Amino acid sequence: MKYVSTRSLRDLGGFSDVLLMGLAPDGGLAMPEHIPTFSPNELEGLRGLEYSALAYAVMRPFIDDIPEQDLREMLRATYHPDVFHSAEITPLVRLGDSDLYLLELSNGPSLAFKDIAMQFLGQVFEYVLERRGEHLNILGATSGDTGSAAEYAMLGKARVNVFMLSPHGRMSAFQQAQMFSINEPNIFNITVNGVFDDCQDLVKEVNADAGFKARYTIGAVNSINWARVLAQAVYYFKAYFALNLPAGQQADFSVPSGNFGNVFAGYLARRMGLPIGQLVVASNENDVLHEFFSTGVYRVRKAAQVAQTSSPSMDIGKASNFERYLYLVAGADGVQTRAWWAEVGESRAVDLSDSTHWEAVKSSGLVGGRSNHEDRLDTIRRADKRFGRLIDPHTADGLLVGERYARAGVPMVCLETALPAKFEGTVEEAVNRTPPRPARFEGIEEQPRFYTAMDNDAAELKAFVVEKLG
């Protein structure tokens, strides 16, 4: 399998090449040159596979530059009950006797869905770098959960350093403590005076400096990394088969969405032949995606327009993975995608509402909705009272919007994003009690913190990277 850029640059290499690449040289995102599909009979052959075997079946068509046995061993080491505290890895739980289901994705080391892909990245980074005799310096941005998931996955990886940017004061107390309590020689936490989009823009600006990127071997673990999207597609297959539906019957999925990586993985699964009907894109008050799927206009927000909300991991005004979706909507036309992104760069918006591509959007299965603070408090209360289930505020956004789009007789699978303990302030406000947390995280907020604060300045960031790498 060869990879190309969403902005038309051809032949980025194979999987291992784009794994280490981050952004493509033309600023686009890596995509496979075609998307393999499963026939209905092939899909039926995947039923009943344990998680690592299913992951191999889904991911192998995209990863043909790693020997079969090595890939299988990495996947077995990644998706192990000792890592995810469940033999099922991503258990599916029915909510009462309704057609609503919760896909548990928070059983990993950092208690968030990002672990599902990030643990695989830790394994495959180490594998590829060891065989190439190389080192990698990861530069990433996080609105909350990506950072801790990446850092937990890269602990002890001798060939990987992590420089993780986060918006100062914008994460929950638990999220901050989880990241900043790490004191390891290959982990560097940096808080930026700004919002998540500022952090993300800094990462892109550094990546755009081809000389600096090459000299200091800068890579990425954000959802722009294709390996993350691919690994996340697996749990859509796992959830669908766990429903035990008749062959070909549709299921719907509702996905809390900020950077569009999680829901794009579902769209990838749909394009591969999984019978997904609707993919519900659930936004918070920062409703860039909801606006697009309602009007056809994708309008990015300036930093000052990004609201600070009680589902902070979705406080994003520019969805990085949305470019991959537009690329497929355009029929894998990189020239068109580059033109659209130029419009976004100039006017901060692109309007598809009057174009022929709007029909492709409407037939893609994606729909949008939004939630606000009072909505998510009410949803947390209702889930607790009706189903005896505590959920975090992002999952509440997904459940609420999923309920709005629920179809009679069609399962609606709502993707859990994190344990409620990571956002205990909002959960306490909703149900008047503190959500439980795993014993290993007791008192984490009182631990010493290790991070560096800096302004929103690429030159300052580059100087910091150079200083730490010597």
The SS3 call for residue 36 is: coil
* Cα–Cα dist 82/155, whole Å: 17
Distances (CA, A) of 333 to 266, 317, 321: 21, 25, 16
Is 114 an annotated catalytic residue?
Answer: yes
Catalytic residue chosen out of the listed positions 114, 213, 238, 462: 114
Backbone torsions φ then ψ of 106, nearest 5 degrees: -115, 25
What length does the chain have?
Answer: 470
* Distance from C-alpha of 291 to C-alpha of 368, rounded to nearest angstrom: 8
Token pair of 44 as six digits: 């039926």
CB-CB neighbours of 359 under 10 Å: 11
175, two tokens = 């999220």
Distance from C-alpha of 316 to C-alpha of 298, rounded to nearest angstrom: 13
Q: Residue 115 carries which side chain, given as an amino acid letter?
A: D
* Separation between Cα atoms, residue 106 and residue 390, nearest integer Å: 13
Strands of the sheet containing 160-167, edge to edge, are 218-219, 136-141, 160-167, 187-192, 452-454
By C-alpha distance, which of 469, 423, 470 is closest to 136?
469
Both tokens assigned to 214: 């090459």
Which residue from 130, 148, 196, 190 is spatially nearest to 465, judged by alpha carbons? 190
Q: How far is the C-alpha of 79 from the C-alpha of 17, rounded, in Å?
A: 23
Catalytically active residues are: 114
